[in-house]
C-alpha cells in the first residue's frame, strides 16, 4: 500500500462510516489560523481546478497531516449510512479520494495537538489526494463533464483524450457541451477532433438553447464557423431567445460572421415569433455596423412587428442613442405607436433618457 498504511485506511474508513466525522457546515468545526489557512488554500485550488479543467497542486504547510474522504450516502430511517464501493477502496489504495459535488465530503486535519474534522462541498467532480503529510503535495484533479468542457475550451487535446478514455459521455453538458465550449473559444482543431469522435453538431445548450454555431458566430470565430458549416451545422436553429446564429452574429456587431452566414444560406428576411426582423435585435444591442450592412443587403429597417413595434422602440428601451440616430436617418417614424398606444417619446421620457428625448423632439416626436 506504499506509505498509505492499513492503519490509515482504517482511520479513513472508520470516519466514512461515522456520520459525526462531518460537521456539514462547509467549514471546519473548530477554527484556528493554521487550519483556516489550509482550508482557504484548498478551496482556491479546488475552484481553480473546476474553473480551468486542469490539475492543481500545493504543498501541505499548515498542518501535520490531512485526510480527505467521501463515502456514498444512503438513508436508513433517520440515519445517514456512509459506505465505500469497490472502486472507492481501490482509489484509497492509490491515495485518491473521488469527490462528487452536491453533498458533503469529509476532511480531517492534524496540527500539533489539534485534531479537527469538518466538511466541504466540491464545486465539480474531483480526484484529490486522500492523505498527505506535511511537506507533501495535495493534488486536485478535475474529472467528469466539467473537466471535459473546460479542457475542450482550452484546446487541451491530451486532457480531452484522457477524459474521454475514462468513459465520460461526450454529449453531457454543464452550461454547454464540450463541442460548444471549443467553438466558443475558436478551438477549430478541437472542434474537428470532437466531431470525429461523434459530437452532435446541432445539439442545443441546456442553458440558453444555443448550438455550437451560435457560440462561434456571436464571437466571429470564423475558422471554427467554417469547420462547423462544412460539417453540416444547421443555420436556422433558434436559441431560447428565438435567435438563429445569424441573429447572434448581428447582435454582436460581427460583420465578417454575418457575411459568412449569409453566403452559406442563412435567411436574411427571417422573422422571430413576435414578427421582429434582425434589425430589432441588433438595435437593442447597439449593433450599428450590423444594421447598416443588413440594410445594404436588403433588410427593411422600418419593419414593424405584430404589435406595431419598430426597431426604434428597441433602441430607446435599451438606451442606445447612436442607434436611435441611425434609425431616424432611415426614416423611421418618430410618432409611430404600438398596438397598445405607446409612442417613442413617451417611452424615452419614462426612462429619463434625456439625449434620446432631445433627438426625438428634433425629429418631430410627440407624446
Match 452559406 to its residue by C-alpha cell: 264
Residue located via cell numbers 465539480: 124
**What pLDDT was estimated at residue 20?**
39
Cell of 53: 479543467
Phi and psi torsions of 62, nearest 5°: -100, 5
CA–CA separation, 160 and 6 (whole Å): 35
Name the one residue in this structure whose C-alpha cell is 461526450: 170
- 65 strand-pairing partners: 110, 133
From CA 50, how far away is CA 230, in angstroms rounded?
33
Tell me what percent of the chain is helix, strand and coil, each rounded to the nearest 5.
45, 15, 40
What's the confidence (pLDDT) of residue 52? 74
Kindly list the distances between the CA atom of residue 145 and the CA atoms of 125, 151, 171, 178, 304, in Å, as whole numbers in the listed order.
Answer: 8, 10, 9, 8, 44
Going residue by residue through the chain (367 aa), what tens digit of pLDDT does each one get? 344 343 333 333 334 334 334 333 344 444 467 677 888 899 999 888 887 777 899 999 878 899 888 865 444 444 443 445 555 555 566 788 888 877 788 888 888 777 887 788 887 788 899 889 999 999 998 877 878 888 899 899 998 998 899 888 899 887 789 999 999 999 999 999 999 999 999 999 988 999 999 999 999 999 999 999 999 999 999 999 999 999 999 999 999 999 999 999 999 999 999 999 999 999 999 999 999 999 999 999 999 999 999 999 999 999 999 999 999 999 999 999 999 999 999 999 999 999 999 999 999 998 8
Provide the pLDDT for residue 123: 78
Pairing of strands 72-76, 79-83: antiparallel
Domain boundaries, the chain: 6-142
Q: How far lies 308's CA from each of 38, 101, 284, 337, 353, in Å?
A: 61, 49, 16, 7, 22
Q: Supply the pLDDT for residue 114.
A: 78
For residues 318 and 162, give the distance between their C-alpha atoms in angstroms, rounded to a whole number. Answer: 46
Contact indicator for 287, 280 with CB cutoff of 8 Å: no
The grid cell for 191 is: 472542434
Cell numbers given for 38: 489550509
Backbone angles phi, psi at 80, to 5 degrees: -95, 125
Give me 222's grid cell: 470564423
Going along the chain, which residue ranges are E strands?
56-59, 65-69, 72-76, 79-83, 96-99, 105-111, 114-120, 126-129, 131-133, 137-142
Phi/psi at 345 (nearest 5 deg)? -65, -45
Amino acid at each position: 500500500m506504499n506509505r498509505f498504511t492499513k492503519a490509515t485506511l482504517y482511520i479513513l474508513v472508520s470516519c466514512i462510516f461515522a456520520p459525526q466525522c462531518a460537521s456539514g457546515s462547509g467549514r471546519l468545526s473548530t477554527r484556528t489560523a493554521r487550519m483556516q489557512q489550509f482550508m482557504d488554500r484548498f478551496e482556491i485550488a479546488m475552484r481553480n481546478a473546476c474553473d480551468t479543467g486542469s490539475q492543481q497542486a500545493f504543498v501541505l504547510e499548515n498542518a501535520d497531516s490531512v485526510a480527505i474522504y467521501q463515502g456514498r450516502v444512503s438513508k436508513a430511517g433517520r440515519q445517514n449510512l456512509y459506505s465505500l464501493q469497490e472502486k472507492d477502496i481501490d482509489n484509497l489504495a492509490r491515495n485518491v479520494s473521488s469527490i462528487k459535488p452536491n453533498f458533503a465530503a469529509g476532511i480531517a486535519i492534524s496540527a500539533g495537538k489539534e485534531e479537527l474534522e469538518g466538511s466541504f462541498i466540491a464545486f465539480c467532480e474531483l480526484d484529490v489526494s486522500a492523505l498527505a503529510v506535511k511537506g507533501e503535495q495535495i493534488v486536485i484533479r478535475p474529472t467528469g463533464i466539467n473537466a471535459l468542457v473546460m479542457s475542450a475550451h482550452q484546446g487541451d487535446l491530451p486532457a480531452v483524450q484522457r477524459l474521454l478514455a475514462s468513459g465520460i459521455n461526450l454529449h453531457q453538458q454543464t452550461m454547454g457541451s464540450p463541442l460548444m465550449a471549443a467553438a466558443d473559444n475558436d478551438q477549430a482543431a478541437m472542434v474537428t477532433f470532437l466531431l470525429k469522435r461523434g459530437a452532435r453538431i446541432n445539439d442545443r445548450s441546456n442553458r440558453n438553447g444555443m448550438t455550437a454555431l451560435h457560440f462561434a458566430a456571436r464571437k466571429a470565430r470564423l475558422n471554427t464557423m467554417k469547420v462547423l458549416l462544412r460539417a453540416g451545422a444547421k443555420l436556422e436553429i433558434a436559441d431560447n431567445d428565438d435567435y438563429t446564429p445569424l441573429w447572434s452574429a448581428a447582435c454582436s456587431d460581427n460583420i465578417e460572421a454575418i457575411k459568412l452566414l449569409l453566403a452559406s444560406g442563412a435567411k436574411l428576411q427571417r422573422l422571430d415569433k413576435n414578427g421582429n426582423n434582425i434589425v430589432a435585435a441588433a438595435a437593442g444591442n447597439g449593433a450599428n455596423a450590423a444594421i447598416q450592412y443588413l440594410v445594404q443587403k436588403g433588410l427593411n429597417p422600418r419593419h414593424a412587428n405584430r404589435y406595431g413595434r419598430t426597431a426604434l422602440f428597441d433602441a430607446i428601451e435599451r438606451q442606445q442613442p447612436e442607434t436611435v440616430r441611425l434609425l431616424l436617418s432611415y426614416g423611421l417614424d418618430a410618432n409611430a405607436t404600438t398596438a397598445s398606444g405607446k409612442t417613442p417619446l413617451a417611452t424615452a421620457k419614462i426612462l429619463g433618457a434625456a439625449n434620446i428625448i432631445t433627438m426625438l423632439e428634433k425629429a418631430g416626436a410627440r407624446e
